[in-house]
Structure 1
Amino acid sequence: MYTSFDREDLNKALETLKSGGLILYPTDTIWGIGCDATNEEAVAKIFALKGRDIGKSMIVLLHNDNQLASYVNDIPEVAYELIEYTEKPLTIVYSNAKNLAANAIAEDGSIGIRVVKHPFCEQLLQRFKKPIISTSANLSGEPSPKSFADIDDAVKQGVDYIVEYQQDEEGDGKSSTVMKLDPSGKFVFLRK
């Protein structure tokens, strides 16, 4: 399903993240705008680019569920099972986020986290050693792009690096399933 990617492409994306810049990149769902999820200034740039309400939280990507404890205080045991056995991309909203940029976290202290299964994202996250913001590559209020060709030029011009990997591939335009999971293990689907 996935083609191989160029190491130079990965290195440029990595350097952009390290310098506090924004990247436009393919994920396991749709194309996203990303940055260092621990860098408040970088997260603020995404809000400005999208024209998004600052009260809205962002999704954070990790490459491994072992990293969850670094960014969430109370993780219900069922979270690990959900991550392991889900077949579709699943974003879980956890209470009590920590060690992330304050403006990436929702006003109620929660954060949406997805453990990705995508070769480029996994490599980027492993090498960056920090979580990355992932928000749809569109201006606020506009539809999410199905593929790279659908991304607004204003978004393309507003980022510091555009990943070359998968630009020519047609996406399905499907976002992840989103589930809110409280520390007791109770859950509710926010988006199926």
Structure 2
Amino acid sequence: MLIRLFNENPNPREVRKVTEVLRDGGIIIYPTDTVYGLGCDITNAKAVEKVARFKGLKIEKSNFSFICSDLSHLSDYSRPISNSVFKLIKKNLPGPFTFILEANNNVPKYFKGKKKTVGIRIPDNNIIRDIIFELGNPILSTSIRDEDEIREYTTDPELIYEKYKDFADLVIDGGPGELTPSTIVDCTSDEIKIVREGKGKLEF
């Protein structure tokens, strides 16, 4: 299924349709403020396993991040953070960043394995944030990668749909995506480290 949503004012009826797909264990492809993402409800183990198999990864060894609707999810899935880290995150989100934090016990066990971190992402995109708000919990996120080395990330939602329609239950056309992924910031130690330079330029 391919549906069109507009970032300025996502249609609530269509948003509810997407959340129903997620609650039923479906896989969706959706726009962010960077590249298109592929994901599912983090509380649905079968859907998470399906995404991991599709990416050729073991869940506990993967670097999937959680896409959240707002900062309230920080305390839901991460251990307490310092005031300085909270101020840094608050200053830069919503935005094109993934913040790596220490995970707490609310993170589903199948994600953890030996890993004790969680990547938190709050895109500056109303479509996916409205969907997550309606769903009531974050979704798993992994980027759509293009096999073409020149264009690592697919940007055209109609081409994405043609390519992934046999795997994804629903593809959201939110307009053209970008080629540059998010900037990944490690906040698990006293020293803030930029793990990957992406679209976002961190403001301290």
Q: TM class, shorter-chain normalised?
A: 0.7 to 0.9
1:40 and 2:45 aligned? yes
Distance between the aligned counterparts of 2:155 and 2:163, measured in 1?
17
The match for 1:7 is 12
Distance between the aligned counterparts of 2:136 and 2:109, measured in 1?
19
Helix, strand or coil: the match of 2:165? helix
The match for 1:78 is 84
The match for 2:65 is 59
Q: CA deviation at 1:63?
A: 1.3
Is the Cα–Cα contact under 8 Å of residues 100 and 118 in structure 2 kept in the other structure?
A: yes
Q: 1:159 to 1:111 in 2, by over 3 A?
A: same
The match for 2:3 is none
**TM-score (ref. length: structure 1):** 0.84
Is the Cα–Cα contact under 8 Å of residues 28 and 117 in structure 1 kept in the other structure?
A: yes
**TM-score (ref. length: structure 2):** 0.80
Distance between the aligned counterparts of 2:148 and 2:102, measured in 1?
26
1:162 and 2:171 aligned? yes
Deviations 1:142-172 (A, max 9, x none): 73223324537453320111224x1xx2222
Identity between Structure 1 and Structure 2 (%)? 26
CA RMSD, 1 decimal = 2.6
Helix, strand or coil: the match of 2:120? strand
Larger mean CA deviation between 83-92 and 171-180 belongs to 83-92
Larger mean CA deviation between 109-118 and 74-83 belongs to 74-83
Deviations 1:41-82 (A, max 9, x none): 211111122333542120101111122111012323223212
The match for 2:178 is 172
1:122 and 2:141 aligned? no
Q: CA deviation at 1:180?
A: 0.8
Q: 1:152 to 1:82 in 2, by over 3 A?
A: same
Distance between the aligned counterparts of 1:51 and 1:155, measured in 2?
15
1:108 and 2:115 aligned? yes
Q: Supply the AA of the counterpart residue of 1:68.
A: L
Q: How does 1:125-144 map to 2 (within 5 A)?
A: 125-138=132-145, 143-144=152-153
Aligned residues: 188
Distance between the aligned counterparts of 2:184 and 2:92, measured in 1?
12
Structure 1 residue ranges without an equivalent (≥5): none
Larger mean CA deviation between 19-28 and 130-139 belongs to 130-139
Structure 2 residue ranges without an equivalent (≥5): 1-5, 198-204
